[in-house]
Structure 1
């Protein structure tokens, strides 16, 4: 199924049929504001505070199922004009104040309202979820060369005290993706609950080390204001310190939970995006160049509209500076059975995740264990379970072309 909403882009005769639909990338994060506003303006019912969470975990997967997938790509001759069109940048710019307003309004709402624990939990989850959209926005703009976009990425990432992602993702994850050296690439047999304890601290330490090395090469102190880990961290410190001064120290644990839940949304995405996929080592000792088949891909319509095409992750890793509106689908890619929001639900139940994804992983790599990034502790068990000792598919197994 392809998108039916159309608006001509006027780019070399190409019509971007998703042009106006990218506004969903603004509308879905705004839902974090809807609950508190309805609570204040309509009636003090806690159910309002769960609206954005219900939409994310129930409505979006349902819409992905109903609307299906879009396998269409923009023609390459239209891409230069498509990427130069400022409309697509303005959409991302508009999300920055939306996220800041949403975060501030929800924190102030919590500071001034005595909610039952399940009401506070609802706001923590919805606000943290909006920070997850902020991390996705920081991901999109952090790859760009325009200085304004790079600073907007840092300002957005600062909301969740996760500014080190700006360094770690661009210079660490993209270098080491789909290898055992990457803390942000999940391994076959690794649950989300095990992965989070490896990915979160690993991301910070790698970012700090990368930035320390860069500054040392430049002859500057790691504590310089040019440190791109410290820059967003200082914005975060001022923001959180100001809110504590206004609302009291009791707001700190709430903000910490919100920041954690926001960071966990990134962890969920990282877990899904490269599960079990492995780049092979060449005779030189270097890993092969990252290709589209080293990432899981999804073309589900609504969740892609809500996430600036993050789910076309295969093309993103192969061509990281390519803007969201230009990302392509390729044939014979590892494919997810649902969009990210449906997959998030699956990760919470590891036995179900392994049941669904391990078979897909084996099919994607042709049952070749040399192309699988195993959790070391489970490697031998998984090889025996799936009959991979000789790199051959077990009898009757379906092998991807």
Structure 2
């Protein structure tokens, strides 16, 4: 039975099959990158493969997205509960974690072995950072769930990037303030990625601390306790890095710091992409309108979605944060990115290219009325002068 037949009203629970069911296992290729890099260098002698993470992320993935194209078909509504309870999909995310940490230990052993020159060590650092950065997406999937084991696995996954505060800020901060000027993880029209990056890194950490401090105050407790989920998450990173330094020598520490920075910057460039320029409006009551599909950029490129557990179906995620990745749906009314996240990441690194491609899409999303967008304050006068309210030339 095809997916098209399933959506035509035929019986679903017993007969509908997820056409991507076994494709989700492809996500486990990513944490295997350190092992694959070592194997490819050994097989070919080409030292460029130490940089496999960058080659795949910035070259192969955008190409595959372009070649394979999109899949906008949704699972039938009557199959959603069935999909949600199928534990197979959970194991596809659980298995990422031991592979991630196995690759980290293996990479540290290679770096400490003395057999790699500086360029190769930097390449391995970037490869490890690619794994840990995409691992933040695995942590994102787990951290939204209600089961305590999944939430703890989320924090463990984040330890490699020293980004454990993401667990707090994303769930209790970003999902409340998304697509508003107050949200450090929502990029503004006219804001380059390089300007967005320090704002979101420091703003997210500051907001996570504020949220945890407020929670503990309500319990009449000091924030300086290991019951503070920011502190205990950061402590996991300290213990991890210390253990690796003891095992492989303190010489691995600069490379551990490097891969962590690359990893969380990879998360933040995806954050930059997800809500760029989109704005929730204030109602007459003064409250924000409810987050809707139009407040997130979507992409239905199959390859990126398989590797990122449907992260690109971002509108449904914001509407239903606890919904599991396999059940996320495409919305026709959501604004669509021109390509998958892999290609958008590359584009974001070059602001003139990004603005040329994305600004007109933001304007089109608001029928040419730039005043309805989330505008970078320092660019507001310039953008209003250029487009005006109700500008027509946005195609």
Report TM bin, short chain.
over 0.9
Q: What is the root-mean-square deviation of aligned Cα atoms in Å?
A: 1.8
Partners of 2:253 and 2:153 lie apart in 1 by 25
Q: Is the 8 A contact 2:184 2:204 kept in 1?
A: yes
**Matched residue, 1:329:** 330
Which stretch shows the higher mean deviation, 316-325 or 283-292?
Answer: 283-292
Q: Is the 8 A contact 2:34 2:106 kept in 1?
A: no
Residue number among 379, 389, 392 corresponding to 2:390 in the alignment:
392
Deviation at 1:44, TM superposition (A): 5.3
Q: Is the 8 A contact 1:277 1:295 kept in 2?
A: yes
Deviation at 1:265, TM superposition (A): 0.7
**Matched residue, 2:129:** 128
**Matched residue, 1:360:** 361
Residue number among 24, 33, 36 corresponding to 1:34 in the alignment:
36
State the SS of the aligned residue for 2:203.
helix
Q: Is the 8 A contact 1:12 1:77 kept in 2?
A: no
Matched, 1:111 2:112: yes
Partners of 1:348 and 1:182 lie apart in 2 by 21
Q: Is the 8 A contact 1:11 1:82 kept in 2?
A: no
Q: Is the 8 A contact 1:36 1:106 kept in 2?
A: no
**Matched residue, 1:235:** 236
State the SS of the aligned residue for 1:229.
helix
Deviation at 1:143, TM superposition (A): 0.3
**Matched residue, 1:85:** 86
TM-score (norm 1): 0.93
Deviation at 1:73, TM superposition (A): 0.4
Which stretch shows the higher mean deviation, 214-223 or 156-165?
Answer: 214-223
**Cα distance change on mapping 1:100 and 1:3 into 2, 3 Å:** farther
Q: How many residues align?
A: 387
**Matched residue, 1:179:** 180
Deviation at 1:28, TM superposition (A): 2.8
**Matched residue, 1:306:** 307
State the SS of the aligned residue for 1:59.
helix
**Cα distance change on mapping 1:32 and 1:367 into 2, 3 Å:** farther
**Matched residue, 2:319:** 318
Q: How does 1:2-401 map to 2 (within 5 A)?
A: 11-39=13-41, 41-42=42-43, 45-386=46-387, 388=388, 391-394=389-392, 397-398=394-395
Deviations 1:197-230 (A, max 9, x none): 1010111110011011111112222122221112
Deviation at 1:283, TM superposition (A): 2.2
Deviation at 1:318, TM superposition (A): 1.4
Which stretch shows the higher mean deviation, 185-194 or 231-240?
Answer: 231-240
Q: Is the 8 A contact 2:3 2:17 kept in 1?
A: no
**Cα distance change on mapping 1:165 and 1:397 into 2, 3 Å:** closer
TM-score (norm 2): 0.94
Deviation at 1:53, TM superposition (A): 2.0
Partners of 1:22 and 1:65 lie apart in 2 by 19
Partners of 1:55 and 1:183 lie apart in 2 by 29
Partners of 2:312 and 2:93 lie apart in 1 by 17
Deviation at 1:80, TM superposition (A): 0.6
State the SS of the aligned residue for 1:250.
helix
Q: Is the 8 A contact 2:297 2:337 kept in 1?
A: yes
Q: Is the 8 A contact 1:333 1:364 kept in 2?
A: no
Partners of 1:259 and 1:300 lie apart in 2 by 27
**Cα distance change on mapping 1:3 and 1:113 into 2, 3 Å:** farther
Q: Is the 8 A contact 2:83 2:326 kept in 1?
A: yes
Q: Is the 8 A contact 2:277 2:373 kept in 1?
A: yes
Deviations 1:275-332 (A, max 9, x none): 0100011222221111111000000000100000001111111111111001100113
Deviation at 1:3, TM superposition (A): 9.6
Partners of 2:28 and 2:292 lie apart in 1 by 30
Where in structure 2 are there 5+ consecutive unaligned residues?
5-11
**Cα distance change on mapping 1:182 and 1:85 into 2, 3 Å:** same
Which stretch shows the higher mean deviation, 110-119 or 131-140?
Answer: 110-119
Partners of 1:293 and 1:192 lie apart in 2 by 21
Q: Is the 8 A contact 2:141 2:325 kept in 1?
A: yes
